[in-house]
Chain A
Amino acid sequence: MRNSIRKTAMAAVSVMAVGLPAAQAQTLNMGVGSPVTSLDPHYHQLSPNNAVSDMIFDKLVGTDSAARNIPGLATEWRAVAPTVWEFKLRPNVTFHNGNAFTAEDVVFTIQRLPNVPNSPSSYAAYARPIVRMEIVDPLTIRFHTREPYPLMPLDMTNVRILDSETHANAATEDFNSGRAAIGTGPWRVVNHRNGDRIEFARNDNYWGDKPAFERVNYRMVTNDATRTASLLSGDLDVIDQVPTSDLTRLRRDPNISLAETVGLRLVFLGLDHLRAPDENSPQITDNEGRPLGRNPLRDVRVRRALSIAIDRKAIAERVMEGAATPSGQFLPPGTYSHVPGLEAPEYDADAARRLLAEAGYPNGFRITLSGPNDRYINDSRIIQAVGQMWTRIGVRTAVEAQTWSTFVGRAGRQEFSSFLIGWGSNPDGSHPLRNILATYSRERGWGASNRGRFSNAEVDALLTQSLSELDNEKREQLLIRAQRIAAEEVAVIPLHIQTNIWATRRGFTHQARVDELTRAQDTRPAAAR
């Protein structure tokens, strides 16, 4: 008798001992480096907001971890006519409050996009190509466009679907308070403290893969060192934006594992194409500091020289601690419209000097290289390294790093001759082409981020052609040709594509995403070792 009591007691103790970690594992603690500013999925286009929106809401077209389109709330889609896209909607999907998802909700969502008051960066652009929406039946919707519009599925990967009933009069504040943060996604919002944390509970009625955890504590820990320390102390289970300076140490730690993937963010140098060949560029002088009387950057030989003078491997290995891949183009291998065979330019200082001499600058010139110091990973150290490499071929480079808020304005006013900047692409060549490489034009909405004002008629023509080509393979060829021309012309000097890195504690695994989004559904308990 006594023995059996003891056995029971021991069994209870061992159950507790085993049960405890399991119970703790029901809550996932995530630490993210960038603050989420709003739970309204149509208020502010920003990666951290999109990540959280992906947890609460769904899109017609989803994307997998490699940024390929996968069925979301739409199960299939196709262009039924050159100007008509048809989306078949997923049946039996409900919102967190039990409302059924139908085509009405899609219409409501598209109509809301341009009508979110005070939005500092709206999603209106995704509604603009659609001139008319047609509900064929409750689970089929057609978007009519003015012209053939091949980018419709891509656009739909950015639009989170709301409920026409629940959100009829919902303002951004209602989402932030959690009252209107109701979607079809894998997580329900339990509590939201602006800029501090968001608490989620699992949506047990989710139509897709069930998340592994019951609750998520999604915390914003913006200080890099603290985020790492909290992971080490066990207060956080997963962190994103692992600082490169901690990489060596974390790789050695047996309790920590890293999830890495090459991303979609290219860090590159922009060059002054705006000043004519016989004009002065604002930050270029001859070796005595006198105006040069011409803009050497308009000579492709000079641009090429500056490009091959850079030892990209050294930057990726030393400055970036291996958390970058040298690149000669915007998109990483394996993505749609990646240019095959276009590698990162090889480092060759001698060839660079020869090119400079051919272009009429045997003794080089002086230039200022600007860049932000708080935006991209190790940004100010990269421009220092580039500055030294340029100086080595005779282009005496002064480096000027400044805070992003000042830098980006000056770059937009074409105050720089050369500058470092980054670009996070959508996985489609038309995205960087249209925004960075196309000729600046307000009417067409092109080149809005073309801060160097590169302009090439052939690139523009190919892009125009691609934007009305509905055949995906033909379109890809057009985009590849356009990107190849821009690379041959050295429109910009690509440096490297950043690696996206997450770190998890023992017992957790995280699926790294090329689009940088940190979402709780991508974390799972690790299989027992």
Chain B
Amino acid sequence: MNENRPEKSPLQVLLVDDEQGYLHVLEKRMERRGIKVTTAATGTDAVGILRGTDFDAAVVDLKMEDMDGIEVLNIFKKMVPEMPVIILTGHGSEKAARQGMAQGAFDYLTKPCDLEDLLEKIFQACQSQGKDCAQRAVSAPGKDES
């Protein structure tokens, strides 16, 4: 789990949301920006994936069919306490989002959100762990056009 990844390896992000369409398009857009994205449509899947892989950050939707976003957050925090978790929430659910913050989430964003905002948060989360995430993303292949 704690293998020391090379400095130039791409940023690894776990996306958890029950909206497949949303996962799909986000994955494609983020991959294009040099971020390695793993998606999970349910909380259970996400926990399974987290067991095998190490991530720089996780983005979790609050509303899912099988598990509450807060529950997923709690499990993540137990499994990998140092991994920052960003919560996605609908407008008006700030109360739940704030609850998540209290339980160790790094920050929250209201849906629909700009990809740029999300990336910004992810970078901030990485940096909070002492990693130069933005540098890794920008230098990743596929993003060299911009």
Q: Are the chains A and B members of one assembly?
A: no
Using a CB–CB cutoff of 8 Å, the interface residues on chain B facing chain A are: none
Using a CB–CB cutoff of 8 Å, the interface residues on chain A facing chain B are: none
